[in-house]
Amino acid sequence: MNSTMTLVSVPLLIVGVLLASATRSNADSYRFEASGPASIPDGSGALRSIPFVVTVQDPNDLIITGVELELDIEHPWIGDLVVSLRSPSGVTTQLIDRNGQVPFGFPGPFGCGGDDTSMVLAEDALTLVDDVCSITETPVLTGRLRPHESFASHFGGEPSGTWFIDLQDLQTGDAGSFLSGALILEIEIDCDGDGLPDECVCPGDLNGDGVIGGADLADLLSQWSLSSVPGDLDGDGTVAGGDLAILLANWGFCS
């Protein structure tokens, strides 16, 4: 099967908008897509790695607080498959581990013999992917399912870089292909670098665009000597030299 892949990264929100407010701690979601088909080597355990290129601005101020993965795979025996998500830093989460494989009884040592996946792997899903096996329903793995291992090991990490879905087929006789996937990252601001989301203060960003620059300076000067206006950055009741000093001291991108 043709293993040529097209790669598309589509952020749902622009980071410049995400960072617009003077204080911010709300999470926003970004979606990155990859499509195939891309054949999975049959029975060898060799990796087929599917890349997702994640690019967001100011990566040192942004952390991951949530992960979901949409995954469509064509395979006539899903019990052959091991599927993992690997972050740019090398942190790996095993999402599927030879679904249904048990030493004896049903489905047996070869795992679940159902066909195909078309699912969303999500931390809040009620059903664990390990608990799903059918030989009559296609796709056998569908809807929202909880991954074999939690996505939590990725929380607090930086989002930007190349992520991978790693696919392995560990049993000969049934070949399959990756069809498509979508990595959804929930991203928040981490201003103090402790790996936890928190609010960032951006004094002087009067127009809320995440940057203190000429437009903010013009706004402040237009409010000179006025009281009860946003330009009163030091809270002394009047826009004056102290407020100008604060604005100039924070010139540039908010942090």
Q: Pick from 149, 140, 167: which is nearest to 67 by CA? A: 149
Q: Tokens representing 23? A: 């204080």
What pLDDT shows up at residue 103? Answer: 52
Is a pLDDT exceeding 50 seen at residue 162? yes
Query: In terms of pLDDT, which residue wins out, 187 or 255?
Result: 187
Query: pTM to 2 decimals?
Result: 0.69
Phi-psi region of 116 (alpha: psi -120 to 50; beta: other; left: phi over 0): left
What pLDDT shows up at residue 17? Answer: 26
214-222 helix and 241-249 helix, angle to the nearest 10 degrees = 170
Q: Tokens representing 67? A: 């992960």
- Write down the number of H helices and E strands in the chain: 3, 12
- For the chain, percent of residues with pLDDT exceeding 90: 55
One-letter amino acid for residue 155 of the chain: F
Residue by residue, DSSP assigns 54-92 as E--S-GGGEEEEEEEEEEEEE-S-GGGEEEEEE-TT--E
pLDDT digits (tens, 9 = 90+) for 178-214: 999 999 999 887 776 677 766 666 788 888 776 788 9
CA 129 to chain CA centroid, Å, is: 20
3-class DSSP assignment, residue 165: strand
- The total number of residues shown for the chain amounts to 255
Q: Are 119 and 96 in contact (CB under 8 A)?
A: no
One-letter amino acid for residue 69 of the chain: L
pLDDT digits (tens, 9 = 90+) for 49-95: 999 999 876 556 788 999 999 999 999 999 999 999 999 999 999 99
Q: Tokens representing 62? A: 């942004």
Q: Are 223 and 204 in contact (CB under 8 A)?
A: no
pLDDT digits (tens, 9 = 90+) for 91-149: 999 999 998 765 544 555 678 988 999 999 999 999 999 999 888 899 999 999 999 99
Summary mean pLDDT of the chain: 82
Is a pLDDT exceeding 60 seen at residue 10? no
One-letter amino acid for residue 222 of the chain: S
Classify strands 211-212 and 176-189 as parallel, antiparallel or unpaired: unpaired
What pLDDT shows up at residue 91? Answer: 96
- Domains identified in the chain and CATH numbers: 6-189 (2.60.120.260), 211-253 (no CATH)
What pLDDT shows up at residue 205? Answer: 85
Per the DSSP assignment, residues forming a β-bridge with 71 are: 119, 181
Q: How confident is the model at residue 22 (pLDDT cuts 50, 70, 90)?
A: very low
Q: How confident is the model at residue 225 (pLDDT cuts 50, 70, 90)?
A: very high
What pLDDT shows up at residue 23? Answer: 31
Region 1-16 average pLDDT? 32
What pLDDT shows up at residue 211? Answer: 77
What secondary structure letter does DSSP report for 210? S
13-27, 99-113, 167-181 — most confident range: 167-181
Per the DSSP assignment, residues forming a β-bridge with 68 are: 122, 184
